[in-house]
Structure 1
């Protein structure tokens, strides 16, 4: 009940506070008139405003660095196509040009370059793209051109080839086993383009994007991931290069390692680890294509390995390999009819008991190739089986998805009263592919062909392969044990083999005979 002290402002203090209280207890916000210094600061160009580097976002840092380089090299107050491509995508100039043109178009810049703020905004918009469909549409539109008849954005076969080649090179350069080169890459890409265009000279960007989503839905994602990675992290590399140049530790060519392409490894007879005297049907480029067409279930990557001796370099390359590379390095050959013999019994012996997903590649007499993707373990049954991730493709001369879904695989070689052989397709009355019981002939579109070669690749982890080999070793040991069973004298007297030997001219056996 004592003394109450007032907490109001002193009579000598007339400076208003930003949150002064009114009589009813509410707080009023008092606006402050902008000073001359504030107006000057706001009217300064973005590149001249004071920037606190530690608080900048990656896009702000990148925009600032590229603006400085463009001003130094070209005398331009903004970001130019030459600087953007040279410092962000030196190994992939086509990607750099397409991405810059996309940014420039959407920024609606009236100049040949973009202002710093406009470039920053376009980078943020691109980094915010998360939907798979939007990613595909965006990349297709980057390579599209405006048609002369005002029908919108269109692509030519050459445009689509350039798009596929760009994402293919990025995947190859960041392969977990080191940069790769495939001599059949042009043939593989031509199969995709020919299947999409059907001899037409141009197609709408919307049609091409829809075709890619249907047949190879994951093929373009490495291209987008690499672009996002470069936009988000290149500022750090550029800063390190600038410090290295300023300290005189290296020349400009040495400071920017991305300016030089890594030396690719020429394709060997087999790009995968297994040795073979003749090339496999599944080439490196075809494995890249199938990995982009199949669900991630088939191409789950293993831990990437890098030859770099630096732990930081290993971590960086391993991360980029997992981020960008869509080529599986863990697929292993289970069965090759050229080496192991063509026949249903050979197929069963080498494929059964493998628990992981598999790819069955078929080559017929006229050079056509097909692929059967099975997400389940192969087994004999007179019923159709298979999960939702099963599919069948035509690989050559055109690449296309023929059908996918559950219960489309059939393998029966022993149950009587039902068709023998291997069939693929949801309609039992009209299967897409049909192989006879002897694995000699195949029927496609009601036309019979001779089956020349079969390859089966296991797409599971190493444990699946090891368990299958353990089962095979057990089967061999069990067969040897059954073969070496010793018979007693009484058992031999009634054994059928004794009767057969007597018919062959050895009617009597003595204890001393061998």
Structure 2
């Protein structure tokens, strides 16, 4: 399993992130600032209320919920219930400024992922002690939409996403009809530890009008794909989001700094008091940019063969994400934190992972050497071996690349993709290495034996003789002796 990256900063036993009392001047000052931000947001939401609103200092339920549009519509309803702390039949139809600020401050102080997990589970289950499959699917769809918004990525949903999200629900529930918090906590610990990271970053940004402080932010951004065209590749945005909830930061860490961009967006969104709540949401929702992934190999474009695979993947000195799609709607992801290499030894370190994305989402194996790629040794089957136990491989791709053995059962390969997750320097270094190899190969191809020179002094003679070829008699027939 990937490393958790959970950051708990001086949280008290209740998980509130510290005391607000004056004896803690920094916390008290922060609390006052948060209260001011929440009151300002409350006032902006009041501007969107109907003209006949006759309850100053209060927001109606409909006004609060109308601030959320499209895929966020359901989330607005659930957040209202959670903030009013009333999930029974007698739903409170109005929320006061005091209740809004108090509930908002409780959310803002949740810096521990364990506390966030419990809060948002109860939010998406509408306060129940369990969640049904419909609740879970709604939770996944909303979490996906909020994370994209927080990452400044336009919302998009395709048929491939429709396959990935139910695969997550199937993984959570198994044969059960309901899911308790304890079961959900156990599932997320292994398969999706950062499932609510984007959700909480989004909510925090909306409520405070600024990006979460770096020392308190749990980073799980959605990777950017270079020249990505939805529908062209095996990878889709839904898969990217799912992977962002489980992958270690070595695959997504950013190499850019966009603090000024976030600051500018935040300040510009608070200057105009007439901004609608939806515009506030779209203006303020920002996260740090994520490391871009570069497409290294696409079997549809480059050809489904081991030689083409090697040509495009070798010499890339960075972590990679390899997708293998085959019959049965199976899509596997091989997350390798070490460069691909050929040989009889397996490779992979602490951040390596083997993940099944569909038809059931789950982390199969993680941590340590997972992959072996043999092209030459006769002692090991030639091809790509995937799995920690060599006697019980999860995947095996023979050297001819015409099938994939899934737990020793042959299946037809549909597609293989490899995405480079390193920095731009890793991609540039690979390009330079390819150019050098091409020039070197071209140099050897144009090289000829010059028989009009002293053959005994020609280095090509010695090279050929080392290879077991007797060249003396051939030269003598040409009159050399």
TM-score of the two chains, using structure 1 as the length reference: 0.68
> Cα RMSD between the aligned structures?
3.8
Give the distance between the partners of 1:175 and 1:346, measured in 2 at CA: 34
Contact 1:372 1:391 in 2 (8 A): yes
> Are 2:417 and 1:455 equivalent residues in the alignment?
yes
Is it true that 1:117 corresponds to 2:65 in the alignment? no
Aligned counterpart, 1:57: 36
| 2:193 counterpart of 1:217 | yes
Show the counterpart of 1:293.
246
1:78 maps to which of 58, 61, 82: 58
Aligned pairs for 1:318-337 (under 5 A) are 320-322=285-287, 330-337=292-299
| Cα displacement (A) at 1:107 | 11
Deviations 1:45-77, CA, capped at 9 Å, x for gaps: xxxxxxxx9996323444566679779754335
Identify if the C-alpha distance between structure 1 residues 304 and 85 changes in structure 2 by more than 3 Å, giving closer, same or farther: farther
Residue 354 of structure 1: aligned partner: 316
Deviation at 1:130, TM superposition (A): 0.8
Question: How far off its partner does 1:322 sit?
Answer: 2.1
| CA deviation string 1:196-220 (max 9, x = no partner) | 2235432223323432332122232
Judging changes above 3 Å, is the alpha-carbon distance between structure 1 residues 379 and 199 closer, same or farther for their aligned structure 2 residues? Answer: same
Partner of 1:230: 206
Choose which of 391, 396, 402 in structure 1 pairs with 2:358: 396
Could you tell me how far apart the structure 2 residues matched to 1:132 and 1:453 are? 36
Asked whether the equivalents of residues 145 and 153 of structure 1 are also in contact (C-alpha less than 8 Å), the reply is no
CA gap of 1:319–1:391, structure 2 versus 1, over 3 A, is farther
Distance of aligned partners of 1:160 and 1:123 in 2 relative to their CA distance in 1, 3 Å threshold: same
Secondary structure in 2 matching 1:414: coil
Deviation readout 1:14-54 (Å, 9 max, x if unpaired): xxxxxxxxxxxxxxxxxxxxxxxxxxxxxxxxxxxxxxx99
User: Partner residue of 1:469?
Assistant: 431
- How many residues matched? 400
1:206 aligns with 2:182: yes
1:240-287 CA distances to partner (integer Å, 9 max, x unpaired)? xxxxxxxxxxxxxxxxxxxxxxxxxxxxxxx95448897211122222
Please state how far the C-alpha of 1:475 moved relative to its aligned partner: 0.3
Residue pair 2:291, 2:422 contacting (<8 A) in 1 also = no
Secondary structure of the residue aligned to 2:58 is: coil
State the SS of the aligned residue for 1:434.
strand
CA contact (8 A) 2:316 2:339 kept: yes
Is residue 2:319 matched to residue 1:339?
no
1:196 pairs, out of 157, 161, 172, with 172
Q: Post-superposition shift, 1:163? A: 1.2
Matched, 1:423 2:385: yes
Task: Look up the SS of the partner of 1:393 in the other structure.
Answer: strand
What secondary structure is seen at the aligned counterpart in 2 of 1:293?
coil
Q: Which residue of 2 aligns with 1:50?
A: none
C-alpha displacement at 1:424, in angstroms? Answer: 2.2
Give the Å deviation of 1:121.
1.7
Q: How does the TM-score come out when normalised to structure 2?
A: 0.72
Whether contact under 8 Å (2:297, 2:417) holds in the other structure is: yes
C-alpha change, 1:469 and 1:59, in structure 2 (3 Å) is same
Q: 1:321 to 1:230 in 2, by over 3 A?
A: closer
Cα deviations across residues 435-465 of structure 1 (Å, max 9, x unaligned)?
A: 2233333222332223332111111121111
Q: Offset at 1:396?
A: 1.5
Specify whether residues 200 and 312 from structure 1 end up closer, same or farther in structure 2 by C-alpha distance, changes over 3 A only: closer
Please say which of residues 187-196 and 277-286 is displaced more in the overlay.
Answer: 277-286
Alpha-carbon contact 1:443-1:449 (below 8 Å) kept: yes
Evaluate the alpha carbon distance shift between residue 424 and residue 142 of structure 1 in structure 2; reply closer, same or farther with a 3 A threshold. Answer: same
Residue 154 to residue 278, structure 1, CA distance change in 2 (3 Å): closer
Cα distance change on mapping 1:70 and 1:311 into 2, 3 Å: closer
Aligned partners of 2:81 and 2:126 also within 8 Å: no
Q: Deviations over 1:210-242 (max 9, x none)?
A: 3233212223211111111111129xxxxxxxx
